Structure formats: structure tokens, C-alpha cells
Structure 1
Amino acid sequence: MIWHHLFQPFIEFGFMRRALVVCLALSVSTTALGVFLLLRRMSLMGDALSHAILPGVAVGYLLSGMSLLAMTLGGFIAGIAVALTAGLVSRRTPLREDASFAGFYLGSLALGVTLVSLRGSSVDLLHLLFGSILAVDNDAALFVCGVASLTLLSLALCYRGLVSEAFDSAFLEVNARRLPSLLHGLFLALLVLNLVASFQVLGTLMAVGVMMLPAVAARCWVRTLPGLLLLAALGGALSAWLGLSLSWSAGLPAGPAIVLTASLLFFISVLCGTRSRLADGLRAFFN
């Protein structure tokens, strides 16, 4: 029974294997970015940028149809433009960066949905918002794996700088004035690039769930940053495998099934994690 639900679909069907490989690649790269967002106390930025790329994706779709290259370029340009504009607004106005991101991403989401509706059908809109992971082709799989490899290489090369910038950006700015801006720009570029790659698989609404939920769940168990990165990646991979298996067995949409599995891991971690122990607190409260 367990073999039939957890292993047999990936052995017998090529599209299930391809979906699993793509999800594992995303689990390794996006969860690492999610950990750094968590350390920067910017967990909702991923959600904002995942919506911000939608107008660019929609423009690419209107110009070239379901072209991977056109939608990727459009989404990347739109995401970078929103990130830079929101940063400029936060520096020149009393608004904080999270508030400016909130204003821009809500307008971007509405604009993207409107643009898709001008030409596409409700099926096209659902594809962009929720993805179609089981229909991922070889080109999309190679693109996602390439983005994941580039992200891991960049994080490895800039690891010390990103950690310093996350924990003590003021010290880093005093010792190297331009370095914090360069690191922040690199991090935003990697974040947007991974969200663009994720939307091909999970859609703009589901992509941030794979990025943040394993990272937040891992925070409930470990204290060290290497342990946090490792456990978040393992949690993302486990969510992908179990979510795809659940989708196959129960006939559920694959993307939401993966995010629901990650949400279940999050709730378990909040209740039972060694750094959370919410269950112990509730038990003591009722006793």
C-alpha cells in the first residue's frame, strides 16, 4: 500500500518523475532564500514579489502566448522594477519598505489579472496563478534546475556577506559602504529569479508557500544557521514528495497539495518543535 502511493507513481510515469525533480530543485534553492528572508524579518516580501512579477508575465503572455522565454523575461523585469521602486519610495518617503511593497504588489496583482483577462481564458489565468506542475516540459525543468544551481552557487560565494548583512548591516556598511547595497541587490535578483522559475511550476500564488513554510518550520527546531538551511531544504523536499504522492492518490491539484503538506509540517513544528513547544504551553495553561 505504501509502495503504491509513495513510490510507484514516480517509477511508472515520466511526468511524475519530472515534477518531482523540479520540486526538489526548487526546495533546495527557494528554501535557502526563505531562510534569509526570515532572518531579515522580511518573510512577506516573497509574497509581495510573487505577485509583482504577474504583470510582466502577463505582458509576455500577451505578446508571445505561453512562451517560456517571454514570460520569464517579463516576470523578471517586472519583479526587479517593483523591488527597486519600492526601495526608492521607502528611502524618499516616510513609508517603510514593507508598506511600499504592499502598495505595489496589490496593484501589480490586479494589473496582471486584468492583462491576462484581455486575451486569455479562465484556464490561462488559473495556469498563471496556480501553475501546472504535472505538465512541466523538459525546457521548463532545465530552466528551473539551472536557476537552482545558479542560486546555490551565488549563495555559497556570498554566504559570509549575506549573513553579515542579515544580522548586522550597520557594521557591514561602516566597513564597506557599497557592499551592503550590492549584496541586497544580488539577493533581490536571486529572489525574483527563483519566483519566476517557481511560477512555471506552482503559479504565482503557490510559489511563496514552498519558499517560506519549510524555512519557518525549521526555525522551530534548530538554532544554528547551517542547521536551519539544511532542515529547511529537507522539509521542502519532503513536502514536495508527499504532496505529489497525495495529489496522485487523492486526485488533488498538485501545487496546492504540496503547499498543504508544507503547511502541515509547519503546524507540527509549531506544536512540537524543540524551540517552540506550543503544545507544552497549552497543556500547562489548561492544567
Structure 2
Amino acid sequence: MAERTLPRRAARAGFDVLERLDAATGFSRLYPDESNAILAYHAVGRPAGYGNVSVERFRRDVAYVTEHFEAADLPDVLESSGGKRVAFTFDDALDDFYEHALPVLREHRIPATLFVPVDFVGGGPDGYAYRFVRSPAEHASFNDPAAFADESVPDPAVMSWDRLREVAADPLVTVGTHSRTHLDLGRVRDAETLEREIVGARDELQARLGVDVDRFCYPFGRYTEEAVEAVRASHAMAVTSRPGVVGGAGRTVTEADRYRLPRVRAHGTERRVRWDLSGLRWRLTEYIE
């Protein structure tokens, strides 16, 4: 932590100015950036919303990354390369990944990680669709479907097993685990539930798809220490929803970091996402109280 800090309100105002200036000049790319980054997407081609971007916007994101950085597979961002690596990740394995995102990735030969909520493949269990449109931060009883029994929520349109097998066979795509029922792991400490949601989900993916699965994504980015330990015992790495970049400023990625990797939320404005990809933006964050 820097010795001198700015008040949070003043820092936010300053960041907004820097974000606008960076959009106009690209000055952040002149900073000797040792950090890598992970982009987090949900839907591509759906109406604007949390985690959703248009196909045209996704194409611009890809063009920006490939022009200025190295588009890399997720494990590669854990290592320093002398340049800046950016990995593409997609939560929920939605049909529009297959229909809209995958053709663009194939066109540019970009690797990606697709995180699958296993019980929703081909259609989820009755009464659980709310887990894709409600926030656990706003509902103390989020993990109890009975608390949402009166809500009518459309199925999240996770792709079918046949389609998922086709995607998993593509050398550009690596499948990862996104739990079994997309629950809030920030409220789960029970070993049996963690075994079912984390290890059991991974085992089913491996058996049905015929591929090794060693990457995990915490639903909503939330977890308990018990959840982290269950992931550590069954996977090689895990991503969160905590904003930030990987490594940088001479900092190596530790074993603990591997299971709490931050990501850049790709559904913000283009100028915000590009600013958030820069190591300079996060270096300056150290000066906020």
C-alpha cells in the first residue's frame, strides 16, 4: 500500500478523467505493464445487461486485444512473458456463445475458457432459473429455491450436451466447471454440498465430454474458504468476479492467487474495459484510501 493516499471520492473523480483521457490518447499503453488480464463475459448477442455485449461490441473487443496485447489461454496469464497477455472467459455456457462468440474466436484463432453450470445443460431443474437473474448479495435466502417459488423466470438457455460436446472438441475451447446448480458458494461450508457442486460437477463434465476439466469459476465470484479448499483439491485454478489484473509491478502469482484470480468485467463501456485492462489503472488504485 502506498504511503500517501487520496480520499476515495476524489480518486474516483480522477479515475473518470484518466479513463476519458486514455480513451482519447491510449496513454496507458505507454506504461511498462507487467500484468496480464482475464476478460469475463456472459452473453454475446443478447440485449444489454449484466455480462451481456452485442456481437459488434465483442468483435471490437477482440480487435482491440489482438492489436495491442497477446490473446492467450487462461493458464498462460499466470506466467510473465515480457508482454501483456489477455485471456477470454465465458460464464454459463449459453447457446449464444456457440452462435455468436465462437465464430469470432475461430476467425481470429483465439483460445477461450467456457464455464459450465452442469445441471442446466439442455434445460435446468424446475424452480432454479432465478439463479441467473437474481443476486445473492440482495437475497439472504438465495440458495433456497422455495424463497423464489412465486417468480416466473425463463430458462437461461444453457447449451445442450450435444452442442457442448461439439464445442469441447474444438481445440480453441477449454471447458471449466461453474458448479452444478449455480448456487452462492459464499454461503456454503457443508462438505457434502461442496463435493456435489464442485467435484461432482467436474466429474460429470469429464465423463460426458471425454475431456479433462481443471478450471473453476465461482458463481457470482463468491466463495467460502471451505469452497476454495474443495476447488484447490479438484482443479488447477479458479476465477472470481473480483475486478483486477493478474500479477504486475514485479508481483508473481502465488499458489493462493491461482484459486482467486481477478477478472476484468467485459460488459462495461468500451472505454472502461480498456482502462481496466491496463496495469496502470490498478497500480494507481493503491493510492485510494
Question: Same fold, TM exceeding 0.5?
Answer: no
- Say which structure is richer in strand: 2
TM-score computed with the length of structure 1 as normaliser: 0.21
Structure number with greater CO (CA < 8 Å, separation at least 6) is 1
TM-score computed with the length of structure 2 as normaliser: 0.21
